[in-house]
């Protein structure tokens, strides 16, 4: 896992929020622009059809001008569609091109609409209401100022049209309303007062529409901003939790305490984008704190070494279970060495106890050069990381102690068992005197028991693979897994044949190399294959397969038609010394450590294992191994 560079939080960069907003409104504009172009096709068709229907009803209706206007709308809509496709393919994140495009569309549509309004009766034209439709579109797509600009421009255009007609500059076009179809709306019957009244109603409708639509848009925009804010917070939380998961996973693979502590301090500093972090652990007397790990702090700051809890009120409070968050460090009484804090450039800090249940282990602190730099969410996240770190420390200490004990006991038992086993063989073969047949049987049973104990001792020694000292640990490097599996093929084919079990090896030719160690991989393959043969009755089948799963992963699978595993036993399958009841019934031999060793190896290699089983039908164990 690659942690983000210290101080680099992509979600806090200045342009992040602006880019998110632009993408949000760019998407909205694109959708509306496409919709506007589609609606225009229907408008063209409706205008053409309406014009010709009215022409059939009233031959004097000006069908030619309206047809020409509709055709011009058709032509520029074709151009709009081509421009829209070009904008769609552009990789830019700017909203401006789409805003300008919306302005051009609305302006040309209003121009064409007013031409139609003129030819269908001017201010009395039924098409005048479609101006309000364009005001709504402007209010949805464009800023409020643009919406009001189009509203006043529409009113000016309407007033200009009325004025030009009244001044006889433009000839009257009252044919639609003077037709016998509309006898009550003859233009000659309308006075200037009535015209002004119609204009006033129209103007009020336009301005009210503009006000309502801009108010609604402003409300939607505010909600959009809130949504973007929530989205940003979710992005930050998701990124931090993903990184935290990776950190915890790596903590589980740490074999040394110092390695785990350094990972924790480095991770919190990088994830929070702060100056540094430190972990101080209690000494054996539990009265002093010792700097166990730090990241981003100078050697001068750490030179004091040991902190006396009685002389440091802040650390005493933390050990007692409180957390300390200081937005501005200016209270000298809190620190044993306040001058060092100032020299280090620390302006704010948060410290939490490292504890498992109620037992304190130490203090985990993070430091910032900025005053009041830590929010409530930062403290909650740090608290979670602190608790997980304390748990990992306690778990690792337990594992180290357990492994030390197991290895020590195994080493101490190995030589006596070897000596006793050799003596039993000497007795059974009669080198120390005659042995009756009954005595030989008893000695042979003892030898078998000693062999089982010897196997357990060897397994105990293997179990601490990733808890060994650094000099003895396996080195991960590219290994030809197919070659190792082929080397085991003859051995296990012979073993299966002796038991009457059919075994098939399917090894893909193009299997990539595995990031592992030859001995560990041999141990992994051997344990799983021998287990499958062991728990498959005569006449059964075992299948072993090795192939590439996907990029950087190799799939190793062992399936059998054996006794199977109870569903409730599967979670405990990789626990030390665990053996299922049906396994014990089939074979008395077994240490219950084989699969624990397999899991230990896979954890060390960064692989995984899954189990599918049905009692009486068989078991399939699938390993995923990291590949080159």
* Residue closest to 141 by CA, chosen among 21, 17, 36: 36
The three-state (H, E, C) secondary structure of 403-472, written as one string: HHHHHHHHHHHHHHHHHHHHHHHHHHCCCCCCCCHHHHHHHHHHHHHHHHHHHHHHHHHHCCHHHCCCCC
Q: Which architecture characterizes domain 254-473 according to CATH?
A: 2-Layer Sandwich (3.30)
Strand pairing category for 502-507 and 477-479: unpaired
pLDDT at position 207? 93
| Triad 126, 127, 132: Cα angle to 5° | 110
Domain ranges for the chain: 14-231, 254-473, 477-626
Phi and psi at residue 430, in whole multiples of 5°? 80, 15
> Is the separation of the CB atoms in 482 and 506 below 8 Å?
no
- 139, containing H or E segment: helix 130-141
What are the helix and strand counts (H, E) for the chain? Answer: 17, 13
pLDDT at position 155? 93
> Is the separation of the CB atoms in 243 and 4 below 8 Å?
yes
**Rounded distance, CA 365 to CA 325, Å?**
10
**Rounded distance, CA 469 to CA 491, Å?**
32
Strand pairing category for 359-368 and 324-326: unpaired
Q: What is the DSSP string of 107-130?
A: HHHHHHHHHHHHHTTGGG-GGGGH
pLDDT at position 10? 40
Cα separations (Å) of 1 from 7, 260, 266, 467, 602? Answer: 17, 15, 13, 21, 17
Q: What is the DSSP string of 245-297?
A: HHHHHHHHH--SHHHHHHHHHHHHHHHHT-SEEEEEEE-TTSSEEEEEEEES-
- 516, containing H or E segment: strand 514-516
* pLDDT < 70 stretches in the chain: 1-29, 90-95, 173-190, 301-305, 329-340, 400-415, 417-418, 452, 455-474, 586-591
* Residue closest to 129 by CA, chosen among 158, 170, 161: 158
| Triad 21, 378, 319: Cα angle to 5° | 180
pLDDT at position 247? 85
| Dihedral (CA of 554, 560, 565, 567) sign | positive
Q: Which architecture characterizes domain 477-626 according to CATH?
A: 2-Layer Sandwich (3.30)
**Rounded distance, CA 537 to CA 250, Å?**
40
């Amino acid at each position: 896992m690659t942690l983000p560079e210290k101080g680099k939080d992509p979600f806090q960069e200045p342009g992040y929020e602006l880019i998110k907003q632009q993408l949000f409104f760019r998407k909205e504009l694109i959708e509306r622009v496409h919709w506007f172009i589609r609606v225009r096709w229907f408008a063209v068709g409706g205008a053409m059809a309406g014009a010709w229907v009215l022409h059939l009803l009233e031959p004097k209706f000006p069908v030619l001008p309206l047809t020409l206007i509709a055709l011009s709308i058709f032509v520029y809509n074709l151009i709009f569609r081509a421009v829209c496709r070009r904008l769609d393919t552009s990789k830019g994140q700017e909203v401006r091109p789409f805003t300008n495009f919306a302005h051009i569309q609305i302006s040309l549509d209003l121009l064409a609409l007013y031409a139609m309004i003129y030819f269908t009766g001017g201010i009395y034209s039924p098409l005048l209401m479609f101006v309000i439709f364009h005001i709504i579109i402007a209010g949805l797509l464009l800023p409020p100022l643009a919406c009001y600009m189009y509203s006043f421009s529409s009113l000016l255009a309407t007033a200009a049209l009325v004025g030009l007609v009244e001044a006889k500059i433009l000839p009257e076009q009252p044919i639609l309303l003077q037709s016998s179809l509309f006898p009550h709306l003859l233009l000659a019957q309308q006075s200037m007062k009535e015209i002004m009244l119609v204009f006033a109603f129209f103007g009020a409708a336009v301005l009210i529409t503009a006000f309502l639509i801009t108010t609604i848009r402003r409300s939607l925009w505010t909600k959009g901003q809130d949504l973007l804010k929530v989205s940003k917070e979710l992005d930050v939380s998701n990124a931090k939790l993903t990184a935290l998961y990776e950190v915890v996973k790596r903590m589980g693979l740490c074999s040394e305490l110092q390695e785990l502590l350094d990972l924790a301090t480095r991770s919190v500093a990088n994830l929070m984008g702060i100056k540094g972090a430190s972990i101080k652990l209690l000494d054996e007397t539990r009265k002093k704190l010792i700097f166990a790990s730090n990241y981003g702090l100078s050697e001068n700051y750490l030179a004091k070494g040991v902190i006396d809890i009685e002389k440091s009120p802040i650390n005493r409070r933390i050990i007692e279970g409180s957390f300390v968050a200081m937005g501005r460090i200016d209270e000298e009484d809190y620190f044993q060495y306040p001058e060092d804090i100032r020299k280090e450039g620390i302006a704010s800090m948060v410290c939490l106890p490292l504890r498992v249940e109620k037992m304190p282990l130490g203090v985990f602190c993070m430091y910032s050069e900025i005053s009041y730099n830590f929010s409530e969410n930062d403290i909650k996240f740090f608290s979670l990381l602190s608790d997980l770190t304390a748990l990992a420390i306690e778990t690792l200490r337990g594992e180290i102690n357990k492994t030390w004990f197991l290895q020590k006991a195994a080493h101490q038992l190995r030589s006596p068992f070897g000596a006793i086993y050799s003596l039993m063989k000497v007795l059974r073969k009669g080198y120390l005197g005659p042995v009756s047949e009954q005595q030989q049987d008893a000695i042979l049973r003892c030898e078998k028991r000693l062999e089982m104990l010897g196997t357990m001792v060897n397994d105990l020694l293997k179990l601490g693979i990733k808890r060994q000292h650094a000099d003895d640990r396996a080195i991960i490097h590219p290994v030809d897994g197919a070659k190792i599996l082929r080397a085991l093929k003859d051995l296990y084919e012979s073993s299966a044949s002796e038991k009457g079990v059919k075994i098939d090896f399917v090894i893909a030719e193009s299997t990539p190399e595995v990031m592992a160690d030859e001995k560990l991989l041999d141990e992994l393959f051997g344990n799983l294959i021998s287990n499958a043969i062991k728990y498959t009755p005569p006449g059964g089948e075992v299948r072993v397969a090795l192939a590439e799963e996907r990029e950087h992963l190799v799939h190793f699978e062992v399936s059998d038609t054996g006794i199977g595993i109870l569903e409730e036993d599967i979670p405990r399958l990789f626990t030390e010394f665990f053996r299922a009841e049906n396994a014990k019934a089939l074979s008395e031999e077994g240490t219950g450590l084989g699969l624990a060793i397999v899991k230990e190896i896979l954890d060390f290699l960064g692989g995984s294992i899954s189990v599918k089983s049905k009692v009486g039908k068989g078991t399939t164990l699938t390993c995923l191994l990291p590949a080159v």
